[in-house]
């Protein structure tokens, strides 16, 4: 059965959930939130949380993070640049363990994924925006090797409730290298990863690298994603997907 959510309804829910975190700050002496930050980016090719899935068109992505203690609410809203929504994820995350070197994060999100479908109405072809509902949970252990290097794992299991993929498993081995200096002002971050992906009965093995070039105390940065399939049954995605994004960061200390 198709879900006839309007774009306004879905976006309104996201905005209400996001800014409800500010509600109590007006009534208390201290700010309700411990931290608020986010990014807004544009790219020539929107790439999903699972890098083998891409929009195939230019996209705009808004990521927000509202933090209170060990809890955070992190809306992830993605749009095609033509104006249509692509996907909305509403993450709730909890820092279960925070040691000097080891950390463990758990989280879950409801999500909506959108696509355009054609129907025949009164003998005429009409395009409708259809939403598909998903629910996912994650676990992410991480070990800090040094101030600039860490390694970890990431596992996500997703469940679809409408037409399309029903069950997704996404298992990642990752490393992260940050603040690698190019000069006194310029630096880059790189995160090479290898992952195993299943969508229902189809299986795929991939490698991906996330790269960011940035300048100290400057809100703009450039990032890239390079994703390569090693062996996959998952189609029709390309065996190589990539993008370059212009990112604006705001909030935070």
The pLDDT, as a whole number, for residue 8 is 44
The pLDDT, as a whole number, for residue 3 is 46
Nearest of 93, 92, 61, 65 to residue 77 by alpha carbon: 61
Nearest of 205, 231, 252 to residue 51 by alpha carbon: 205
Written as six digits, the tokens of 75 are 């809306």
- The helix or strand, by DSSP H or E, that contains position 115, with its residue range, turns out to be strand 102-121
pLDDT surpasses 70 at 127: yes
Q: With beta carbons less than 8 A apart as the criterion, state whether 180 and 148 touch.
A: yes
pLDDT band, very low/low/confident/very high, at 14 (cuts 50, 70, 90): low
* 155-186 pLDDT tens trace: 999 999 998 889 999 999 999 999 999 999 99
Q: How is domain 7-21+36-251 classified at the architecture level of CATH? A: Beta Barrel (2.40)
* 199-237 pLDDT tens trace: 999 999 999 999 999 999 999 999 999 999 999 998 755
pLDDT surpasses 50 at 25: no
HSE, side-chain direction, 13 A CA sphere, residue 205: 2
- Widest CA span in the chain: 66
The full length of the chain comes to 253
* 185-201 pLDDT tens trace: 999 999 999 999 999 99
Would you call 67 helix, strand, or coil by DSSP?
Answer: strand
Q: Look at phi and psi of residue 67 and say left if phi exceeds 0, alpha if psi is from -120 to 50, else beta.
A: beta
Nearest of 85, 108, 105 to residue 14 by alpha carbon: 85
* 53-110 pLDDT tens trace: 888 899 999 999 999 999 999 999 999 998 889 999 999 999 999 999 999 999 999 9
243 versus 28: which is more confidently predicted?
243
| Summary count for the chain: helices (H), strands (E) | 1, 12
- The helix or strand, by DSSP H or E, that contains position 10, with its residue range, turns out to be helix 7-19
Q: Please state, in angstroms and rounded to a whole number, the distance separating the CA atoms of residues 202 and 217.
A: 44
User: What average pLDDT does the segment 129-144 reach?
Assistant: 94
**What phi and psi values does residue 233 have, to the nearest 5 degrees?**
-105, -5
Written as six digits, the tokens of 138 are 């994650």
The pLDDT, as a whole number, for residue 131 is 87
User: What average pLDDT does the segment 117-131 reach?
Assistant: 76
């Amino acid at each position: 059965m198709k879900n006839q959510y309007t774009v306004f309804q879905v976006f309104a829910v996201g905005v209400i959930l996001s800014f409800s975190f500010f509600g109590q700050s007006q009534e208390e002496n201290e700010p309700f939130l411990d931290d608020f930050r986010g990014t807004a980016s544009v790219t020539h090719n929107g790439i999903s949380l699972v890098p083998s899935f891409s929009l195939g068109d230019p996209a705009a992505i808004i990521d927000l993070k509202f933090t209170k203690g060990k809890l955070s609410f992190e809306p992830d809203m993605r749009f095609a640049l033509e104006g249509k929504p692509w996907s909305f994820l509403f993450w709730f995350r909890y820092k279960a363990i925070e040691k000097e070197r080891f950390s463990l994060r758990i989280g879950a999100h409801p999500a909506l994924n959108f696509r355009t479908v054609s129907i025949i109405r009164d003998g005429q072809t009409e395009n409708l925006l259809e939403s598909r509902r998903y629910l996912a949970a994650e676990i992410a252990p991480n070990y800090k090797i040094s101030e600039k290097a860490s390694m970890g794992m990431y596992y996500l299991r997703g469940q679809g409730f409408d037409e399309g993929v029903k069950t997704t498993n996404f298992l990642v081995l990752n490393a992260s290298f940050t603040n690698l200096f190019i000069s006194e002002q310029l630096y880059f971050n790189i995160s090479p990863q290898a992952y195993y992906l299943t969508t229902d009965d189809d299986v795929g093995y991939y490698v991906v690298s996330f790269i960011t070039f940035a300048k100290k105390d400057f809100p703009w940065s450039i990032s890239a994603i390079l994703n390569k399939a090693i062996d996959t049954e998952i189609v029709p995605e390309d065996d190589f997907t990539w993008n370059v994004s212009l990112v604006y960061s705001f909030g935070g200390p």
